[in-house]
């Protein structure tokens, strides 16, 4: 089915809309699952009423989580709207309602203890999650041009929701980031000498600006040790480190500390937001640094602190003792 004309059409539509490769793989998985489940032989057989049945099957028979069910829903919504050009009606009623959980956060000592157990460059990567509020993929996708050492800022390009934002560059990471850039420059020269100097660029910019694809400032800061084949273009080039490498190193570091919390890279982003609230920064500033569209998403951190709805610090508590 992966090589079927219909699935090629689905993938072409996803790429036309500039969906991330991870989104492409996920959507294709659920669309194939849906087609196999009902044994469709052509796209004319696909019925909208089967979507409700399929989502119910996932929830009742497969007992998937609400978030997984909603991912499947989004994939099928994309299929109907953008591939089949049909509208799904009265479908929102079957969507699972996710329960909002309070995020796990670390103390200052816990965060420092874990980071000390990490080798480079993973230590700096996790420091960026904690010190700049970056998501895992935002860290991995950082390019040399995104770091402004003069202004101590990081430009996050095409973050979640395909939005750009600016966040703070932690001073503690500057020296190691400069070393990482030097390593990337060395690898870049090595790749050019071997005829593999280009890097993946978004939005077909490599065709519009062909020389930019071979420029140093577009290179990933956390470059992979080896070149690989781009799954879309089939071109051999050097990409960033794989997410699983960071996850593996973080799990090893957490085991060494024996801290009894469920910890991921995103935990350090939660800790970034919570500690800013503890320091008295207003909720709107933190919202911008995190890249949240709705301030309600940011307000969950006020519940972690057990303060009021906007994490207000009373003027009476600011008086000198």
For residues 198 and 239, is the Cβ–Cβ distance under 8 A? no
Q: Is there a contact between 30 and 61 (Cβ–Cβ < 8 Å)?
A: no
Q: What are phi and psi of 39, to 5 degrees?
A: 65, 35
How does DSSP classify residue 146?
Answer: G
Q: How far, in Å, CA of 105 to CA of 273, rounded?
A: 9
In angstroms, the CA 127 to CA 129 distance is 5
Strand partners, 155: 166
Backbone phi, psi, residue 147, to 5°: -100, 125
DSSP-derived letter for residue 312 is: P
Q: Per-residue DSSP letters for 81-119?
A: IIIS-----S-GGGS--PPPPPPP---HHHHHHHHHTPP
Tokens 């991912």, residue located = 71
CA atoms within 13 A on the CB side of 27: 24
Q: Quote the crossing angle between the two packed helices 243-257 and 108-116, to the nearest 10°.
A: 110
**Which residues participate in catalysis according to the annotation?**
135, 160, 266, 269, 292, 301
Could you tell me the two tokens for 10?
Answer: 């689905």
Measured CA to CA, the distance from residue 303 to residue 301 in angstroms comes to 5
């Amino acid at each position: 089915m992966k090589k079927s004309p219909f699935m090629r059409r689905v993938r072409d539509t996803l790429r036309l809309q500039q969906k991330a490769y991870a989104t492409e793989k996920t959507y294709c998985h659920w669309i194939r699952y849906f087609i196999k489940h009902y044994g469709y032989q052509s796209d004319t057989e696909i019925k909208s009423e089967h979507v409700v049945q399929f989502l119910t099957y996932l929830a009742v028979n497969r007992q998937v989580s609400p978030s997984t069910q909603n991912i499947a829903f989004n994939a099928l919504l994309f299929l109907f709207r953008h591939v089949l050009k049909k509208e799904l009606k009265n479908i929102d009623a079957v969507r699972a309602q996710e329960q909002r959980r309070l995020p796990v956060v670390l103390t200052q000592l816990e965060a420092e203890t874990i980071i000390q157990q990490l080798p480079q460059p993973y230590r700096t990567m996790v420091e960026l999650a904690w010190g700049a509020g970056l998501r895992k993929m935002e860290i991995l996708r950082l390019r040399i041009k995104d770091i402004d050492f003069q202004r101590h800022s990081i430009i996050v390009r095409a973050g979640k929701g395909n939005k750009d934002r600016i966040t703070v560059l932690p001073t503690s990471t500057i020296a190691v980031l400069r070393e990482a850039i030097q390593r990337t420059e060395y690898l870049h020269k090595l790749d050019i000498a071997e005829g593999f100097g280009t890097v993946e660029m978004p939005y077909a910019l490599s065709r519009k600006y062909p020389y930019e694809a071979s420029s140093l400032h577009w290179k990933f800061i956390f470059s992979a040790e080896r070149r690989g084949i781009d799954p879309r273009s089939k071109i051999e080039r050097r990409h960033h480190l794989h997410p699983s490498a960071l996850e593996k190193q973080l799990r090893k570091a957490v085991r060494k500390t024996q801290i009894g919390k469920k910890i991921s890279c995103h935990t350090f982003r939660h800790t970034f937001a919570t500690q800013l609230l503890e320091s008295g920064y207003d909720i709107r500033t933190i919202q911008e640094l995190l890249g949240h569209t709705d301030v309600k998403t940011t307000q969950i951190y006020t519940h972690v602190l057990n303060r009021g709805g906007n994490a207000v610090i009373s003027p009476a508590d600011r008086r000198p003792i």
